[in-house]
Amino acid sequence: MAEVTEPSKTSTWFEERLGLASMRKFLAHKTVPVHAGTMWYYFGGITLFLFVIQVLTGTLLLLYYRPSPGEAYESVQFIMTRVQFGWLVRSIHSWSANLMILAAFVHMFSVVFLRAFRRPRELTWISGIALLGLALGFGFSGYLLPWNTVSYFATKVGTDMAAAVPGVGHYIARFLRGGDDVGGATLTRFFGFHVAVLPGLTTLLLLGHLALVQKHGMSAPRWAEEERERKGMPLPQMAFFPNFFLRELMAWYAALGVLGTLAALFPWELGVKADPFAPAPAGIRPEWYFLAPFYTLKLIPSHVWVFEGELVGLFGFGLLALWWVALPFWAVDRKGVERTRWVTGAGVLLLAYLTTFSALGYWR
């Protein structure tokens, strides 16, 4: 007969106050489908892990960073040259930002190709896309903070695109810049967005996104279910805790290894201090995740019919974003039949556009 061990006084004390038994019970019931595409489930967790790294390293950088045009560049220079391990902390922050956005894109496309956005997960998809938008906002606002030439012109271009929105564009651009042009007020604002507004919004939305994932569970792709049905067997499941969780931890450890290697071997450069009265340098380009729209804007002529080219570009990007957000709604027809080929085609097309135009934007 198995010996039943009495719970310790400490665990009883915590149990009374926190009710951990219900959480253990909940975790014991949560499962993850096992099929050929299970590895793609790890990318959401990797994105979350890199976000945590961002919060930790960002908090460290806050100890020395000064958000003013006269001091921003110098304070980052100080972090990189004088503060012990400052170069590493900043390098990890910059690399982790890029890897986080890459992981988020992989997560998004895996959701598309595994059709994990299907009913009733439409809101999970929309909140995920909104989180990707916030991640890009983090990238855009954080890019300006070192106050170097490239970031200065990237912010000029980015905020001027907002100004092209008919009617309200001027107000949006003024709101973003804190004035009529990019300057000290813009830097202070972007700092505020980067360290307070965006983290607050992201935390709220992230909690909602995770709550929805918990509520609906992990989605299994239709093909995996059908394959098992043909064999007359249910789709195998893996316990979330500890089986999937431990595997996810290994994925985080691998991500940490990649991050540490990149940050140590390729430290993030600081560039030249921004000079509002210097011309934009040759070869200027934004971060890789903005290269596709950047190159598209280069190709659009000054006028398309009677409209200015940049307005046409902006309208096109807006339509593309709306169409993508609405994916779960046009992915089924009125009778509820899935438009599998449409979704795959759209995913492949978008992926092809992003990779081709990013490559062209980088090399041309």
Partner 1 sequence: MEQPRRSLLRWLLGGGFSASIISFLYPAFRFMSPPEVPEASVNEVSAGKVQDLRLNQGRIVKFGSLPVLLIHTTAGEWRAFSAVCTHLNCTVQYRESSSQIWCACHNGLYNLNGQVVSGPPPRPLDQYSVHVRGDEVVISRRA
Query: Judged by CB, which is closer to partner 1: 300, or 354?
Result: 300
Query: Judged by CB, which is closer to partner 1: 311, or 326?
Result: 311
Q: Tell me if 201 contacts partner 1 by CB under 8 A.
A: no
Query: Judged by CB, which is closer to partner 1: 123, or 172?
Result: 172
In a 13 Å sphere around the CA of 191, the CA atoms on its Cβ side amount to 18
Q: How far apart are CA 192 and CA 140, in angstroms?
A: 13
Query: Judged by CB, which is closer to partner 1: 65, or 152?
Result: 152
Q: How would DSSP label each residue in 11-79?
A: HHHHHHHH-HHHHHHHHHH-EEE-STTGGGGHHHHHHHHHHHHHHHHHHHHHTT---STTTHHHHHHHH
The residue within the footprint of partner 1, chosen from 256, 284, 326, 359 (CB under 8 A), is 284
Q: Tell me if 171 contacts partner 1 by CB under 8 A.
A: yes
Distance from first CA to last CA of the chain, Å, rounded? Answer: 75
The residue within the footprint of partner 1, chosen from 71, 160, 225, 227 (CB under 8 A), is 160
The residue within the footprint of partner 1, chosen from 90, 177, 194, 209 (CB under 8 A), is 177
Query: Judged by CB, which is closer to partner 1: 10, or 302?
Result: 302
Q: What residues between 95 and 154 interact with partner 1 by CB under 8 A?
A: 153
Q: How far apart are CA 153 and CA 182, in angstroms?
A: 9
Closest approach, Cβ 166 to partner 1, in A, equals 14
Query: Judged by CB, which is closer to partner 1: 180, or 226?
Result: 180
Q: How far apart are CA 220 and CA 111, in angstroms?
A: 10
Question: Which are the contacts of 219, defined by CB distance < 8 A and separation ≥ 6?
Answer: 33, 114, 115, 116, 118, 121
Query: Judged by CB, which is closer to partner 1: 122, or 160?
Result: 160
Q: Tell me if 181 contacts partner 1 by CB under 8 A.
A: yes
Closest approach, Cβ 270 to partner 1, in A, equals 20
How many C-beta neighbours within 10 Å does residue 253 have?
A: 10
In the shown chain, the binding pattern of residues 290 to 319 toward partner 1, with x for contact by CB under 8 A and - for none, equals: ----x--xx-xxxx----xxx---------
Q: Tell me if 281 contacts partner 1 by CB under 8 A.
A: yes
Q: How far apart are CA 172 and CA 39, in angstroms?
A: 41
Number of residues that bind partner 1 (CB under 8 A): 34
Question: Which are the contacts of 308, defined by CB distance < 8 A and separation ≥ 6?
Answer: 164, 302
Radius of gyration of the chain (CA): 24
Closest approach, Cβ 276 to partner 1, in A, equals 7
Q: Tell me if 338 contacts partner 1 by CB under 8 A.
A: no
Amino acid present at 1: M
Residue 183 φ/ψ region, left for φ over 0, alpha for ψ in the -120 to 50 degree band, beta for the rest? beta
The residue within the footprint of partner 1, chosen from 70, 120, 133, 179 (CB under 8 A), is 179
Instruction: Tell me the CA distances in angstroms from 115 to 122, 220, 337, one per residue in order.
Output: 11, 8, 13
Helix (H) or strand (E) holding 307: strand 307-308
Q: Tell me if 185 contacts partner 1 by CB under 8 A.
A: yes
Q: Tell me if 273 contacts partner 1 by CB under 8 A.
A: no
Q: Tell me if 178 contacts partner 1 by CB under 8 A.
A: yes
Which residue in this structure is represented by tokens 């080929």?
Answer: 341
Q: Is the dihedral of CA 86, 89, 90, 91 positive or negative?
A: positive
CB 117 within 8 A of CB 224: no
**Of 48-56, 133-141, 171-179, 334-342, which part binds partner 1 (CB under 8 A)?**
171-179
Q: Tell me if 276 contacts partner 1 by CB under 8 A.
A: yes
In the complex, the residues that contact partner 1 under the rule CB under 8 A are: 153, 156-157, 159-161, 163, 171, 174-175, 177-179, 181, 185, 276-284, 294, 297-298, 300-303, 308-310
